[in-house]
Amino acid sequence: MATLIPTAIVTEFTGAAMDHFDTFKRNIIVYKEPLTTFSNPTDNVYAGFEQPESSTSSYTVQTGVFSALKVVPKQTTDQTQVPLTQISILYTNIRIKVQEDAKKYIEEGKTEAIVFGGVTYNVISPPIPVDFLGLTFYYYDLQKTN
């Protein structure tokens, strides 16, 4: 199939897009649900019954470090009316742009939190793929946790 944009131009534009990402990217830490390991898995443990005293469980933290770009900071205010007072709650959301490897890690299993710039966020959107001349980035909306 013929294309209107020559291959050399596509390579130049996608290279510029990657240079932009590489220049402004920051590391994010993605926290997944911890793995539970049992010290003696051969014990017969039935649902609803306590574990034998000889068996102990431990949790292993699962994290991944990836590159991300903060794209759009959004601030919205939700005003809630309470009798005789007015409470204004500020929700601070950000949007991040990640590559395929980070998207796969975020999507597999349960993602508990993402730390970006020392602040903890929850993922509040599915991945939004954006294709630029064959170069795909994924956007996530994140909400700051307290």
pLDDT one digit per residue (tens) for the chain, 146 residues: 567 889 999 999 999 999 999 999 999 999 999 888 767 655 566 666 666 666 677 888 899 999 999 987 655 555 544 455 555 555 578 999 999 999 999 999 899 999 999 999 999 999 999 999 999 999 999 999 97
Number of domains in the chain: 1
145 in a structural domain: yes
102 in a structural domain: yes
87 in a structural domain: yes
20 in a structural domain: no
Per-residue tokens: 115: 């730390």
Residue type, 97: K
Radius of gyration of the chain (CA): 22
130 secondary structure, DSSP code: E
Task: Answer yes or no: are the C-beta atoms of 104 and 129 closer than 8 Å.
Answer: no
- Write out the residue range of the structural domain in which residue 145 sits: 27-33+55-146
Domain at 73, CATH number: 2.40.10
43 in a structural domain: no
DSSP sequence for 24-75: H-EEEEEEEEEEEEES-TTS---TTSPPPTT--EEEEEEEEEEEEEEEEEEE
Rounded to whole angstroms, how far apart are CA atoms 38 and 117? 35
